[in-house]
Amino acid sequence: MVIAFFVVPVIVGILVFAYRTYKQKIIRDDTKITQPIGIESLEEVTLGGVHQWILIRAEDQSKPVLLWLHGGPGSPTMPLASQHDMELVKHFVVVHWDQRGAGKSYSPKIPTSTMVVDQFVSDTYELTQVLAERFDVPKIYLIGHSWGSQVGMLTVARHPDLYYAFIALGQFVYSTEGDAVGYQFALDQAVSEENQKALEELKAIGPPPWTTVKQRSTNARWIDAFGGTGRQFATEDYFREMINSPEYTLQDMFGYIRGMWFSGKTMLANGEYNRVNLFEQAPKVDVPVHFLQGRYDYSTPGEVVERYYETLDAPQKSLVWFEQSAHFPQWEESQKFADELLKILSETN
């Protein structure tokens, strides 16, 4: 029994690792860029004095550049890139970036003093310049999801000359207002479904604003449980695909977990997570802005996004509803998402 206690976990671990390696090979073979004029490159760059990682993929390097700003803070999309971008890489040079403190870019040496919104905006601007010079283009397309949409909106507001358009997925407008709507949704659902555990936990944290990771994660967990985060793409789908990602090592997965905790805890403690109010800080931008919003999204509630859309002063703007999606329209309705991006591309070129 003693031998079995030690041997069985080792055997299970070996089998899991072998299966992961097998899945990674399949994904790598199925998604490999084979065109001679294409690019598939995982690279380290230095932004704001911190080493960070980007993944560049395209079937044709002469296509327009599309830079992704992931959510969180601390939740990269790079692990899902190969499995979800096959249509996009035909039309764009797609760049996924693990922001400072996130995923492959996590390091315990990152100064907590740099985990502020203005630094993320500065990093985005610096990376944009790097990409524009590398691919010899005057402008790029910028897309931001959730937390990344907040950083993206502030970036295009401050540096409009570098961007053809900004695409906002689950636009993060103003955390205090958005959190209040999401909290009320979860509370109403708990009452409707007579879920006593949800009621107890939600009442225990109380309404926002929140100052701890536990408060915010409790609210997010119940929004997710009641369908306000994913409808056709669940949180467990994200982690399963990350585990099988060809771009992520086991060390990177630990980096993801540590980075998510580090980013969230640091930016709640220093007040940065709740600092931005786009109604006040970005009422006007000088680039086209396109909002792609899941109808069932209560992580970044649609009613807040719609009000911001209506008040935003921009040379061109649109709001497209994804009727079968919550917070992840890019993965829940992937074909419609790709179609909308190609429509935006045709309108700006």
CA atoms in the 13 A half-sphere facing the CB of 97: 30
pLDDT at residue 35 is higher than 60: yes
Which residues fall within 8 angstroms of residue 21, CB to CB, at 6 or more apart?
none
Instruction: Determine the pLDDT at residue 58.
Output: 97
Reply yes or no on whether the pLDDT at 13 is more than 60: no
Q: How confident is the model at residue 235 (pLDDT cuts 50, 70, 90)?
A: confident
Give the pLDDT confidence score for residue 348 in this predicted structure: 82
Spatial separation of the C-alpha atoms in residues 217 and 21, rounded to whole Å? 32
Q: Vertex 43, ends 82 and 331: CA angle to 5°?
A: 25
Q: Is residue 115 part of a domain?
A: yes
Domain residues for the domain of 331 are: 32-348
Lowest-pLDDT range, 80-84, 233-237, 244-248, 345-349?
233-237
**Is the distance from CB of 119 to CB of 48 less than 8 angstroms?**
yes
- Is 80 exceeded by the pLDDT of residue 68? yes
Give the whole-angstrom CA distance, residue 39 versus residue 172.
32
Residue 88 has pLDDT above 80, yes or no: yes
- Residue 2 scores a pLDDT above 60: no
pLDDT tens column, 121-163: 999 999 999 999 999 999 999 999 999 999 999 999 999 999 9
Count CB atoms within 10 A of the CB of residue 44: 10
Q: In the predicted model, what is the mean pLDDT of residues 338-349?
A: 91
11: in domain: no
Q: Could you tell me if residue 212 is inside a domain?
A: yes
Number of domain units in the chain: 1
276 located within any domain? yes
Burial class of residue 39, CB neighbours in 10 A (0-12, 13-18, 19+) = middle
Q: Edge-to-edge strands of the sheet including 65-69?
A: 39-47, 50-58, 93-98, 65-69, 140-145, 163-169, 289-294, 317-322
Give the 3-state secondary structure of 191-256: HHCCCHHHHHHHHHHCCCCCCCHHHHHHHHHHHHHCCCCCCCCCHHHHHHHHHCCCCCCHHHHHHH
| Residue 19 domain flag | no
| Phi then psi dihedrals of residue 175, to 5 deg | -60, -40
Please give the pLDDT value at position 21. Answer: 77
pLDDT of residue 211: 83
CA 346 – CA 349 distance, rounded (Å) = 6
**Residue 349: what pLDDT?**
66
Is residue 22 assigned to a domain?
no
Domain holding 251: CATH number? 3.40.50.1820
Q: Is residue 4 part of a domain?
A: no
**Structural Rg of the chain based on CA atoms:** 20
pLDDT reading at 267 higher than 90: yes
- Indicate the helix (H) or strand (E) that contains 140: strand 140-145
Residue 293 — φ and ψ, nearest 5°? -125, 130
| pLDDT above 60 (res 15) | no
8 A C-beta contact, residue 156 and residue 163: yes
Position 6 in a domain: no
**% of the chain residues with pLDDT over 70:** 95
**Chain center to CA of 300:** 12
The rounded mean pLDDT for the chain is 92
What band does 212 get if pLDDT is binned at 50, 70 and 90? confident
For 280-308, how does the pLDDT look when each residue is reduced to its tens digit (9 = 90+)? 999 999 999 999 999 999 999 999 999 99
Q: What's the pLDDT tens digit per position in 101-124?
A: 999 999 999 999 999 999 999 999
CA distances from 216 to 76, 104, 204 (A): 19, 24, 12
* Residue 310, pLDDT above cutoff 70: yes
> Residue 8 has what pLDDT?
54
Q: Over 80: is that where the pLDDT of 23 sits?
A: no
Q: Please give the torsion angle defined by the CA atoms of residues 268, 272, 275 and 281, in that order, rounded to the nearest 10 degrees.
A: -150
Q: How far is CA 260 from the centre of its chain?
A: 12
pLDDT at 242: 86
Looking at the DSSP bridge assignments, the partners of residue 145 are 169
CA nearest to 106, candidates 269, 243, 244, 262: 262
pLDDT at 219 over 60: yes
The arithmetic mean of pLDDT across residues 27-45, rounded, is 92
> Does the pLDDT value for residue 220 go beyond 90?
yes
What is d(CA 127, CA 282) in angstroms, rounded to the nearest whole number?
21
Please give the average per-residue pLDDT across 314-339, as a whole number.
96
**Do residues 167 and 143 lie in contact, with contact meaning Cβ atoms separated by under 8 Å?**
yes
**How many other CB atoms sit within 10 Å of the CB of residue 191?**
12
